[in-house]
Amino acid sequence: MTHEQFIASKASEAFKALYSADVDASSLQVQITRREFEGDYTLVMFPLLRVTKSSPEASGEAVGGWLAENVEEISGYNVVKGFLNITLSDKFWNKVLAETALHPGAPLPSTGKNIMVEFSSPNTNKPLHLGHIRNNLLGDSVSKLLAACGNNVITATLVNDRGIHICKSMLAWLKKGNGETPESSGKKGDHLVGDCYVAFNDIYKAEVDSLMAGGMSEEDAKKEAPCLKEAREMLVKWEQGDPEVRDLWKTMNGWVLKGFDETYRSLGIRFDKTYFESGTYLLGKELVLKGLDAGVFEREADGSVWCDLTADGLDRKLLLRGDGTSVYITQDLGTAERRFSEYDLDEHVYVVGDEQNYHFQALKLILKKLGFKWADQIFHLSYGMVELPNGRMKSREGTVVDADDLIAQMYETAKRTSSESGKLADLEEEERERLYRMIGLGALKYFIIKVDPKKTMLFNPEESIDFNGNTGPFIQYTHARIKSILRKSEAAGVPGEVRMPDALCAMSPMEIRLVKMLSQYQSKLAEAGASLSPAVMANYCYDLAKEFNRYYHDTPILREEDKDLMRMRLVIAGTVAETLRKAMSILGIELPERM
């Protein structure tokens, strides 16, 4: 039972005793008292005047008086207009702290649900960039969040390893690569192939300009550029299984996948299941043909197959081309059916940018038309794109913030900032290096995750490496500060594993606020899980860390002469540290013992 529910249940008893009225506790409005007023929780009286048949002030006085007299956990009250502000006793808050300290950051009970979360899903023609980082960090934290909410989570990725974009990189390597390999060049394989993709765009632009100089219109020149035709011919050969094309495809994809794995390890990302488009793109074809036989879909004169979604507010959706080849949504139909049957899924979450909103609307509708009841259990976690101060990134032009470069930049910034502070000077070099990585990665992850997924995100490199304010390093430093306090407490004669004193301790308003925030962990977890927004947990961590730092500056802990009071304050500090550690782990962020 939450504190709000406890207050509501007791208020319901008051209405029964005072007015002989049965008031459902769930209908009562109880909220945390605003800081400028005295009290812990506020009961809104206005909707209850029909029961009390008196003014808001008189009603509040009557109910508040009954609660203070009959409920031992309530020590006082005050009425401000139609708001009854209730103060809970020290005994209540001591009990809440003791219970919270036993299991700080506890997960929610098991739901028994199997949920797959698909994220990352990169193309094998370029390295991962800032946009991929947002996708990966969001997908990873949503997976951890759903697991903390009691679900069995399967993380998956679909590697888009076929198509015209892959052939463009392959063709550019043949034309301009000079036999270069990751080994011969010293480049990561995904970076080498990404350079080829940019090189293709340069070749294409030059050919278009040349055709236009010869009198061809821009529209025709873009269609007739020789390199584009060659790339299309290469794709046809790939579809036909041409050995030479397939061998080059396997080699270059191997370079990219190895590079991806290195980046994933740097970010702390792993997948339970990896699918490849080259192995799944035909899966939906059988489903489409079954739907055609059942009259769900329509075949045009050119042999193409379509699904009419106009009655559902969309348009007609192509499912098979006239030559019988599948399109992207065809693959998603097949993979969805396979995943639900393979893993007995209750839900499937796709973490994909908001430019694909239409695609997933159509996917769900088509699956429903095919008779799959689980179609309603598919959820598209649509997130806003990442933009730079000078606009959107373009991989083909090479105007991206590279993931590996960004990770390295965050490491170097953490190293420089920590070195300048001198706080890590007494540590061994290996330990310092580990902390630089932890701090740099924590700064990057927190900066990305603290923004609500639905919002477009402006990435400003300078802001992302600011180690003050609402940042990952601020929370990491708070944790390290508390750990330092706990280490020093042993020198003050308090055991390392601090327990609540037997004596009842009077709590200050700051201490009550901290205990209140600590006790809200599971409700915040439930809120974040319901909205699939790890940002809820990120900002909870920031608020908790900020509140503790205010408390630390205003309250003596180790200098407190009353040993029972000191122990109670150490319990608060230790519970804050462990709660931060558990909550930040959902975001994939480690917290250091010292910093």
Distance CA 195, CA 401 (A): 14
What are the helix (H) ranges across 241-317? Answer: 243-267, 277-280, 283-293
pLDDT for position 280: 86
Q: Which residue has 């630089």 as its token pair?
A: 436
Residues 6+ apart with CB under 8 A from 531: none
Task: Judge contact between 93 and 508, C-beta under 8 A.
Answer: no
- Strand, coil or helix: 403: helix
**What's the whole-model pTM score?**
0.91
Q: Report the sign of the C-alpha dihedral through residues 310, 314, 316, 318, in that order.
A: negative
Residue 84, token pair as written in the block: 């009854």
**Does this chain's domain 3-88 share its CATH topology with 408-586?**
no
- pLDDT given at position 318: 96
Residue-wise DSSP of 359-397: HHHHHHHHHHHTT-GGGGGEEEEEEPPEEBTTB--BGGG
Indicate the domain borders of the chain.
3-88, 114-279+342-397, 408-586
Q: What Cα–Cα distance (Å) separates residue 67 from each residue in 9, 13, 19, 43?
A: 11, 9, 14, 12
Q: Which DSSP string corresponds to 300-366?
A: -TTS-EEEE-GGGTS-EEEEE-TTS-B-HHHHHHHHHHHHHHHHT-SEEEEEEEGGGHHHHHHHHHH
- Per-residue pLDDT of the chain (595 residues), as tens digits, is 899 999 999 999 999 999 999 999 999 999 999 989 999 999 999 999 999 999 999 999 999 999 999 999 999 999 999 999 999 999 999 999 999 999 999 999 999 999 999 999 999 999 998 889 999 999 999 999 999 999 999 999 999 998 899 999 999 999 999 999 999 999 999 999 999 999 999 999 999 999 999 999 999 999 999 999 999 999 999 989 999 999 999 999 999 999 999 999 999 999 999 999 888 888 899 999 999 999 999 999 999 999 999 999 999 999 998 888 788 899 899 999 999 999 999 999 999 999 999 999 999 999 999 999 999 999 999 999 877 666 554 444 445 678 998 899 889 888 888 777 776 778 888 999 999 999 999 999 999 999 999 888 877 666 666 667 899 999 999 999 999 999 998 776 776 567 888 899 999 999 999 999 999 999 999 999 999 999 999 999 999 999 999 999 999 899 888 989 999 999 999 999 999 999 999 999 999 998 8
What is the C-alpha R_g of the chain?
30
Residue 20 region by backbone torsions, left for phi larger than 0, else alpha for psi between -120 and 50, else beta: left
What is the secondary structure of 180-237 as a DSSP string?
A: --HHHH---HHHHHHHHHHHHHHHHHHHHHHHHHTT--HHHHHHH-HHHHHHHHHHHH
The 10 Å Cβ neighbour count of residue 522 is 18
What is the assigned CATH class of domain 3-88?
Answer: alpha beta
The fold adopted by the segment(s) 114-279+342-397 is: Rossmann fold (3.40.50)
* 580-581-585-587 Cα dihedral, nearest 10 degrees: 20
Amino acid at 436: Y
Instruction: Answer yes or no: are the C-beta atoms of 307 and 297 closer than 8 Å.
Output: yes
Pick the CATH number of 408-586 from 3.40.50.720, 1.10.730.10, 3.30.499.10, 2.60.40.10: 1.10.730.10
Contacts of 24 (CB under 8 A, 6+ apart): 12
CB atoms within 10 A of CB 17: 12
Residue 399 has what pLDDT?
53
Measured CA to CA, the distance from residue 193 to residue 172 in angstroms comes to: 9
